[in-house]
Chains A and B, each alone.
Chain A
Amino acid sequence: MLSVTHRVSPNADAVAAEVIDGEAIIIDLATGVYYSMDGVGGSIWALIETESSFEEIVTAIVARYEVSRNQAETDVQEFVAELLREKLVVVSEQQSAARADPKAAPEQKLPYVAPKLITYRDMGDLLALDPPVPGLQDIPWKTAAE
């Protein structure tokens, strides 16, 4: 169970992810399974990308959506647990001061729908039948600075 100080971040070694128009698209590069989440789920992922703590995630969701704190805590717990089961995120215990939410809360809160992770296994099935060439994942790439 997540505590308020647990920080959640993407499993950067295993996934590639983008948030576009509030929808998060995540691809597990090892298994070929890919995911999408929009609405509240997309908002949670955007916060995860900034390595927010559980407390910060819940606070931001309550500020943005019409949801009670108790409900938000329950749903975020369950959602992050699902992301952990799918190995899309990692959790760390980092003691640091709470950061102010850089985005101003909307004047009018948005309707709340519980976050939902949509899973696509078609490419994963194809990968299982026809795996990638060994060694592809080990190719070094230049960084943007280089």
Chain B
Amino acid sequence: MTSRPAAAFSAVQAGFERAKAVHPDGLSQSCVSLAGEIARLRVVGRDLSTHITRPWAHLIAPESTSEAPRLRIDLWDAEESRVPLPPGLASDRIGETGAVTSSRDGRFLVHETRYCITVLDRREERLVGSFEAGSRLPLEERARPLNLPLTVWCSDRDIQLVHSGLVARNGLGVLLPGLPEAGKSTAAVACAHAGFDFLGDDCVALRLSADGTFVGHSLYGSTTLARSQMARFSLISRAIRRRHTRSLAFLDQASSVQLIRAAPISLIALPRIVDSTDSRARPATKGDALLRLAPSSLLKRAVPAQHCLSRMATLVDRVPSFWLDLDGELLEIPRRVERLLAEAA
């Protein structure tokens, strides 16, 4: 007997094919590099395509790439295509936070929210999805589209998504982990504003290379700072696309901000808010680093917790950690990070 998640995959896939057939002008196709893996993306619906691909503008792979896609993503906009979601798929478990259902064998993962349903076939590495209306995507989805199914897909490929900012200088990656409101997004954006390469402010991917080094990968080129914080970054404020209590900006549109795809992790800088600070570099213990990186990277995330924690422990064991004191002087943040990089070298 076909499980509900398996049936959902078939139904959503069939819906995509129908949407593609009835609305061919609305189909767009692209390839993106997600944590070093090629994903082929097909979207029926112009608004949906625009919003889904926006945070990946710096990750677009050339159409002519000969590399076969590892992940295939097919999405459609029910409103624009006028192809509704197949009946019977709405779950009575959907609340404000949505719901996740796995097939018993773990092959299919269904993620339902108030505005979309996505189904990931983990064995075939295919992701299909239907969105109610691309023009009404919530801010979180515009900032970090498909985050939950992509987290699962990454985990299946032994790629860890961590709750951290990531910037780089001269090819050296600086991880900026921290709990919510710890200052990691502010620190990442401040560094980008000052000329560091930007890879992310909240969610980045880590891969362990064969030689034992950790490489950080950009997943999203967006940032969602509080409005008051965003206003302090003049270069970035012009890239703001949505304003609410938090503003959404795409940093590839900010002048003088450079986005890159990957950098080896050379330093872990732990943001902490202090009243005042001096210029001394204060080493942090490995335990301090793990305490700042792990909890928010594991809790509320679709990840194999013990494996991810062990991997993060390996990271903090191999990469030096320092405290990054934040006392409200935004211009000092990148200078302090530069000093920490010199100290860690």
CB within 8 Å of B: which residues of A? 12, 16-18, 20-21, 23, 25, 27, 29, 32, 34, 36, 38, 120, 122-123, 126-127, 130-136, 138-142, 144
Contact = CB atoms under 8 A, between A and B. Distances in A.
Contacts of A123: 179, 295-296, 299
B102 A140 contact: yes
A32 B287 contact: no
A127 B304 CA distance: 18
Interface stretch (B9-17, B216-224, B255-263, B306-314): B306-314
A133 B300 contact: yes
Contacts, number: 106
A139 B302 contact: yes
Interface of B: 93, 95, 97-102, 105-106, 109, 111, 148, 152, 155-156, 179-180, 285-287, 290-291, 294-296, 298-302, 304-310, 312-313, 316-317
Contacts of A34: 291, 294-295
Contacts of A12: 306
A129 to B, nearest CB: 11
A23 B290 CA distance: 10
B286 A16 contact: no
A106 B319 CA distance: 28
A135 B102 contact: yes
B179 A122 contact: yes
Nearest to B111: A133
A44 to B, nearest CB: 16
Contacts of A132: 97, 299-300
| Of listed A17, A120, A134, residue having the most chain B CB within 10 A | A134
Contact of A133 (B148, B298, B317): B148
A22 to B, nearest CB: 9
Given A18-B309, A27-B305, A142-B156, A36 B101 contact: no
Given A27-B294, A138-B102, A16 B306 contact: yes
Contact of B301 (A20, A136, A144): A136
B155 A120 contact: no
A132 B295 CA distance: 13
